[in-house]
Structure 1
Amino acid sequence: MLTLYHAPTSVCSQKVRVGLALMGLRYESRMLNLQAGDQFEPDYLKLNPDAVVPTLVDGDLVVVESSLILAYLDREHFGAQLMPSEPAGRVRAEHWLLRCLAIHAAINTLSFSTAMRKKLLAEKTPDEIDALAAKFPDPIMGQKRKDLILNGLASAYVGQALVHLRRLFVDMQAELEEGPWLGGNRVGIADVALVAYVDRLDRLGFGGFWEEEFARVGPWLDTWKALPAYASGIADHVPPGTAETMRSGGAAHWPELARRWKALADETQ
């Protein structure tokens, strides 16, 4: 039996749950409360020393990193049906999986510099923010979280995030010209790997990143939203009442992000 350690609204947990649902794989759920610090508990750190979710356990094998988990599940439990069979398509899909590290970092940046920042500033003292940063096994990640909480959109990480997101949408738009899914006419591993990230931006009220310039991204996300795998992997795990708070919290920052997004587009054209 597969065992998944995950969190309700963690984007990386969402993308693995979407994959599990799409593959029709059953698993034992171990839900972590990230706000309570479950990810820093000693028993969990033995499984995942980076103190992040998700973590998959398959017998004696522990698999970490959401893109690696998706590739493992597809290969070992789904007959590699989500991975293109031809070399060029496979390389392109594997490159998307690799790029998810930077894309996830960008989504993390925009989440914590906007909607999540207000709540953290209201609930935590400066000493508690310092203590939170110190808990991260990777000290640079701890300093990033602290910087995003204290500085919001003024953080240098925001500019980095926008660069990676622009590359994401430029490349998605190009691939979606070939069909309704990335790289073709059927859903593939790259689609599964990216849906939770684009969905998070949509939930933050940041659909303006793609609505005008990258018109194929919106319909791609809408197609996902109509699938049962989206519901069981993402929508069903959103706590009641939080969707509205996230959207309003993010939308308040959209005018500044829109200004910087346009400036970046002007620079790269």
Structure 2
Amino acid sequence: MLKLYHTPTSVCSIKVRLGMAEIGLDYESEILDFSKSEQHGESYLQINPDGVVPTLIDDGFVVVESSLILEYLDAYYNDGKLIPKDRKLATTARHWLLRTLAIHSAINTITFSTGARDQILASKTSEEIAASISKMPDPVAQLKRKELLANGLNSAYVNQAFGQLQRAFKDMETALADRKWVTAAEFGISDIALLSYIDRLDRLGFSGLLGDESSKIVGWLARMKARPSYDIAIAQHIPQAVADKTRQAGEKHWPEVERLWTARLGK
């Protein structure tokens, strides 16, 4: 039996759950409570020293990094059906998997400079925040989290994140110009890998970032939401009350996000 360490709302957890739902895999679910810093507990750090989710355990074999987990599951439990057979398209799909590292960083920035920042600052003392950040294994990640909590949307990380998203939106829109799915005519691993990030922006109330020039992505997102895997991997794990709270927290920041994004685009 496969075992998955994950959290209900983390974008990388969602990415892997989507893949497992598309392939039709059952797994033992081990949910970590980030509010209690369980991802930084000694027992979890022994299997994932980075202290992040998800982590897949397959008969004692540990697989980390969500895109690698997707490839692993597709290759060994799905006969590689989610990767195109054409070598050029296959390479393009794997390039998207690599690009999600930068896209993930951008979504992390947008999340922790807006709604998540408000929640953390309202619920924790400065001492508690400092203690929580000190448990993060990566000192650079610590610095980023401190900076985002201190400066919010005024952080330099925000402009960097907008640059990554602007490029990703442009390339996705180009890819979807003459087909329904990102890499090929058939649904595949690129669609699974990208969905959780675009969905997070939508759940934060920031879908306006897509704009009129990203109508193809909007249509793609609707198609992704219509797939059974969306309900299995996302909707069933995120109660409506939590979804509503996330959107309300994000929408408070939309006017400033929109202003900064518009300035970035030179409009």
TM-score, normalization by structure 2: 0.97
Residue 79 in structure 1 maps to residue 79 in structure 2: yes
Instruction: Give 4+ residue runs of structure 1 displaced > 4 Å after superposition.
Output: none
Q: Give 1:134's aligned residue.
A: 134
| C-alpha distance in structure 2 between counterparts of 1:3 and 1:23, whole Å | 15
Greater shift, 208-217 or 41-50, is seen at 208-217
User: Equivalent residue of 2:5, what SS?
Assistant: strand
| C-alpha distance in structure 2 between counterparts of 1:65 and 1:232, whole Å | 21
Greater shift, 209-218 or 44-53, is seen at 209-218
Please show how residues 186-205 of structure 1 align to structure 2 within 5 Å. Answer: 186-205=186-205
Please show how residues 74-223 of structure 1 align to structure 2 within 5 Å. Answer: 74-223=74-223
Aligned 8 A contact 2:37 2:132 in 1: no
| C-alpha distance in structure 1 between counterparts of 2:232 and 2:218, whole Å | 20
Following superposition, the deviation at residue 61 of structure 1 comes to 1.2
The one-letter code of the counterpart of 2:257 is L
Residue 248 in structure 1 maps to residue 243 in structure 2: no
Size of the aligned set, in residue pairs, is: 267
Q: Give 1:66's aligned residue.
A: 66
The one-letter code of the counterpart of 1:14 is I
Q: Give 1:40's aligned residue.
A: 40
Following superposition, the deviation at residue 60 of structure 1 comes to 2.5
Aligned 8 A contact 1:132 1:142 in 2: no
Following superposition, the deviation at residue 161 of structure 1 comes to 0.6
Q: Give 1:24's aligned residue.
A: 24
| C-alpha distance in structure 2 between counterparts of 1:8 and 1:67, whole Å | 18
| C-alpha distance in structure 1 between counterparts of 2:79 and 2:172, whole Å | 26
User: Equivalent residue of 1:45, what SS?
Assistant: helix
The one-letter code of the counterpart of 2:92 is R
- Unmatched segments (≥5 aa) in structure 2: none
User: Equivalent residue of 2:249, what SS?
Assistant: helix
Following superposition, the deviation at residue 239 of structure 1 comes to 3.0
| C-alpha distance in structure 2 between counterparts of 1:132 and 1:60, whole Å | 30
The one-letter code of the counterpart of 2:214 is F
The one-letter code of the counterpart of 1:5 is Y
User: Equivalent residue of 2:84, what SS?
Assistant: coil
| C-alpha distance in structure 1 between counterparts of 2:143 and 2:35, whole Å | 18
The one-letter code of the counterpart of 2:81 is Q
RMSD of Structure 2 on Structure 1 (CA): 1.1
User: Equivalent residue of 2:74, what SS?
Assistant: helix
Aligned 8 A contact 1:113 1:152 in 2: yes
The one-letter code of the counterpart of 2:252 is A
Aligned 8 A contact 1:204 1:251 in 2: yes
Residue 7 in structure 1 maps to residue 7 in structure 2: yes
Aligned 8 A contact 1:211 1:218 in 2: no
Following superposition, the deviation at residue 229 of structure 1 comes to 0.3
| C-alpha distance in structure 1 between counterparts of 2:228 and 2:36, whole Å | 30
User: Equivalent residue of 1:214, what SS?
Assistant: helix
Give a deviation string over 1:109-165, Cα, whole Å, max 9, x none. Answer: 111111111111111111111111111000110121122122110111111110000
User: Equivalent residue of 2:30, what SS?
Assistant: strand
Aligned 8 A contact 1:63 1:69 in 2: yes
